[in-house]
Structure 1
């Protein structure tokens, strides 16, 4: 009997706690949560694109560097002979200098095409000699010797400042002469050839005064390509 009364009570109307109404969402007119348009958004998207491009290029360059490991060529002057180096009236220089330049490519995957080479000799910051050098191709792990680079002639200088340097070094028994090589070259990577227009090789030579009995010592050079 109790069960029947309970059943009747359950089948009747049930007044529970009130159900709160669903809240309606409102959007402000002129605002968008998914996308935007206008100069500011375009600049923002452009910045993101450029940043992504820089990151991708940086990763590519890093991977290529790790794969190829490019190294600067090596250069040195093993033999040099200063037959004549006379400065008269502190302005006129009579010179005769010859040398052999050795260039080494230490790379396993890069080869070099030296399309144009010229060398100049300088003393106390002033150029006194110039000559063209033969062009050549240098393969992987290859050594090339450019023999008998000759500077021979007479050069006049303005002023007598060079005379002080000449007299001091003459008394010391050695002249310091700079030989600078400038080139136009291509670097070959696989089937690609990259052009470099201003690579240079700088050598500072310590040459004994002619007739002094001194000996020239093999000298390394600074090479700047990459």
Structure 2
């Protein structure tokens, strides 16, 4: 029969049965999991709110642009060089270009509700990517569905650098009597809609011209043809 061990509060255990091990309880870190969940929840709510706000702004801006387009129906302004007179275009061996070029241009504003302020207009003349002259044109305003006429003249001499291939191309054009001349307009404009005026824009106008040389009032090879220019915003 098993002996009674007074140290075990009257419990009986046989010689082959060991006493039960003592168990220990380690207190946990209460509240740490809940704090992380709360932080993640707040971050998710803020991110969702920002996404909704951005989407709302995009929708509002899109609707405003659509309404503006439906009301105004903006149309592209048209630029034409209607006439060009070239009475001198002589490139000498020392790199000096002597020139006398006069241009007449038209600008057509087809819009019914938009007026255009031309605050600054600079005209530049280039030959084979080399600028040889520039002029400032007086500011002007164009009302709805109007056409503006402007003229400019490039006259004088300037030193430009042409390579061997460019000089060869110049000699070919000199023989044909027709020169490839680029004219570019650099603009600063504002639009007017009713009493409202928009901010400043800086479009560029590129006119790729083929201009016959005129001698004694008569073109050496054909006549100049009206040319539409390209508008680049």
Task: Give the alignment's Cα RMSD to 1 decimal.
Answer: 1.9
User: Which of 133, 137, 141 lines up with 1:133 in the alignment?
Assistant: 137
Alignment map for 1:1-226 (pairs within 5 Å): 30=34, 37-89=41-93, 91-147=95-151, 149-161=152-164, 162-211=166-215, 212-225=220-233
- Distance (Å, rounded) in 2 between the aligned partners of 1:210 and 1:164: 21
CA deviation after TM superposition for structure 1 residue 70, in Å: 0.8
SS of the residue corresponding to residue 47 of structure 2 reads helix
CA deviation after TM superposition for structure 1 residue 181, in Å: 0.6
SS of the residue corresponding to residue 150 of structure 1 reads strand
CA deviation after TM superposition for structure 1 residue 213, in Å: 4.4
Contact 1:110 1:140 in 2 (8 A): yes
Structure 2 runs not aligned, ≥5 long: 1-32
* TM-score, normalising length: structure 2: 0.77
Structure 1 runs not aligned, ≥5 long: 1-28
- Distance (Å, rounded) in 1 between the aligned partners of 2:213 and 2:206: 21
CA deviation after TM superposition for structure 1 residue 66, in Å: 1.5
* TM-score, normalising length: structure 1: 0.79
- Distance (Å, rounded) in 1 between the aligned partners of 2:161 and 2:100: 21
- Distance (Å, rounded) in 2 between the aligned partners of 1:133 and 1:210: 25
* Higher alpha-carbon deviation: 154-163 or 88-97: 154-163
SS of the residue corresponding to residue 161 of structure 2 reads coil
